[in-house]
Structure 1
Amino acid sequence: MRKDFTFVSIIVSTYNHPVWLEKVLWGFYAQSNKDFEIIIADDGSGLSTEEVIKKMRKVTKMTIQHVWQEDVGFQKSRILNKAVIAANGNYLIFTDGDCIPRNDFVDVHLKHCSKGKFLSGGYYKLPLTTSKLITKEDILSQRCFKIQWLYKNGVKESLKDLKIVSNGWLSKIMNKITPASATWNGNNSSGWKEDIIKVNGFDNSFKYGGQDREMGQRLINIGIKPVIIRFSTVSIHLDHSRGYADHAVIKKNRAYIKQVKEEKIKRVSNGISEILK
């Protein structure tokens, strides 16, 4: 593990899912490595989210910043940029407020991090029934990460189960042979703050669908190598609806990401610097 970082900031995006967010925060409380701060990147949630954050600060004693902006529609890129600015760490781990991390999540990111790289993880998606069943005790005991527990509580067997059961040599092999692309995935990726600032962070103009991958492509364009850790870092994704998804916008975003790759665009103008004005 590289020792050339001073502190880690975990950036957790959220929007009006306080019950899910509390479960995620219990996941970070259960981490084997507790040397980090948490920054909640909140795209306009109501008071119930603020109450959960205050409660978890008090009960867990974790360092939790709450970076909030007014709800004016989907503005995830902008709130993520604000969270990057607020981060005290120079190594940043990004995830979502609906993804519960296994207790080695932070350790695995730190084990694999090194200069000139970013880490590309993924998640294990749960059905809604299982998502609702998971309790604080299930998280602290880590039984919700056991495949047999998941089967007993509504999850059907599939090939994706390798994300849960792989460890050691098997996870290394799966990371190498997976057909998944090494992209920046907002639910489970990490990189150096200085690199994210070099590309001016996320594009504030992006609506839902690909804003994370677009930023990751610009990191690749400046020479940062993506490394897949999809089968090494385990997080379970709690199900929910996405009323803000617009398939026409998603299609447009994918076309732009392709353009960013082909034209090797390295920096966006409407990013972190625009917020700092």
Structure 2
Amino acid sequence: MNTTLLISTYNWPKALELVLMSVERQKKLPTEVVIADDGSTEETKKLIESYQENFPVKIRHIWHEDKGFTKTVILNKALKTITSDYVIQIDGDIILHSNFIKDHIANAKKGTYLFGSRISITEPYSKKALEKKQIKFYWFGSGLLRRTRAIYLPFYNTFTKSKHKNSSKLRGCNMSYWLKDAININGYNEDYIGWGYEDFDFAQRLINAGVAAKRIKHAAIQFHIYHKEAPKGDTDKGNKILSKTIQEQISVCKNGIKKL
């Protein structure tokens, strides 16, 4: 099974470097890495180019001009270029446990998408990690919030079942899905401008299309570097779109990878 690690990023090369460092130490590597860049400056481009030279797998950089928060647009542009069977999606401020890719692949199942949780690194410890380029964290160590999520018990997921129901626990920074399923729902809905709801809409349309959801716990572990939360976009508009998606059981958005 070919896999793509899809990383969304915007103007935080110091964090992205830690992400790429954590990808290098994966016990099972993806087939390729695709960085969906929502308009970062030259500094991010130079960082990516420096890693492309000796990285163990191919890194592709998909970039467009900065026009504000248009994550849905750049993700769709990236999805259009992917030919792998399976996509594992994270954000550019996420440090991966060494078994992260391995765990997503081990739990992948046709007709199902996966989502996991994240462990937040405190603000002072995040600063320290960025300064020292630290990518190893332990559940019993300092600087972690909700640390029990970092206890590694991968067998736990053999007893959990998938559900045809969306979850408030879903995070777009830790999810994976079959490329075919993402294409079938026309990718991300580009009517969402600004941060918020776009991941829930994507997941809900997968469910509406008959794809089940499975939450991974104590595996596919990741650590979130602290930053101030970006202001949300048009929440009223986002609420209306998501509500319509749920109520009318919409599976294919009109303003997605293809403009319908």
TM-score, normalised by the number of residues in structure 1 = 0.84
Unaligned runs of 5+ in 2: none
Which among 183, 189, 205 is matched to residue 191 of structure 2? 205
Contact 1:183–1:217 at 8 Å: present in 2 too? no
Displacement, 1:241?
Answer: 2.3
Indicate the percent of aligned positions where both proteins have the same amino acid.
Answer: 29
CA 251–43 in structure 1, closer or farther in 2 if over 3 Å, else same: same
Q: Secondary structure at the match of 1:264?
A: coil
Tell me whether 1:32 sits opposite 2:27 in the alignment. yes
1:41-52 matched pairs, under 5 angstroms: 41-52=36-47
1:121-132 matched pairs, under 5 angstroms: 121-132=116-127
Q: Secondary structure at the match of 1:103?
A: coil
Task: State the alpha-carbon separation in 1 of the partners of residues 155 and 251 from structure 2.
Answer: 35
Displacement, 1:186?
Answer: 1.3
Alignment size in residue pairs: 255
Task: State the alpha-carbon separation in 2 of the partners of residues 74 and 116 from structure 1.
Answer: 31
Unaligned runs of 5+ in 1: none
The residue identity in structure 2 corresponding to 1:192 is W
Which among 154, 163, 177 is matched to residue 191 of structure 1? 177
Displacement, 1:127?
Answer: 1.6
Partner deviation per Cα, 1:79-112 (whole Å, 9 max, x = no partner): 0001111113120011000011101011100111
Tell me whether 1:118 sits opposite 2:113 in the alignment. yes
Displacement, 1:244?
Answer: 4.2
Contact 2:5–2:30 at 8 Å: present in 1 too? no
Structure with higher helix content? 1
Which among 213, 226, 229 is matched to residue 213 of structure 2? 226
TM-score, normalised by the number of residues in structure 2 = 0.90
Contact 2:18–2:133 at 8 Å: present in 1 too? no
RMSD, aligned CA? 2.3
Task: State the alpha-carbon separation in 1 of the partners of residues 59 and 246 from structure 2.
Answer: 35
Which among 237, 247, 250 is matched to residue 262 of structure 1? 247
The answer for the alignment partner of 2:238 in structure 1 is 253
Task: State the alpha-carbon separation in 2 of the partners of residues 71 and 263 from structure 1.
Answer: 33
Contact 2:139–2:148 at 8 Å: present in 1 too? no
The residue identity in structure 1 corresponding to 2:238 is N
Deviates more, 1:161-170 or 1:11-20: 161-170
The answer for the alignment partner of 1:109 in structure 2 is 104
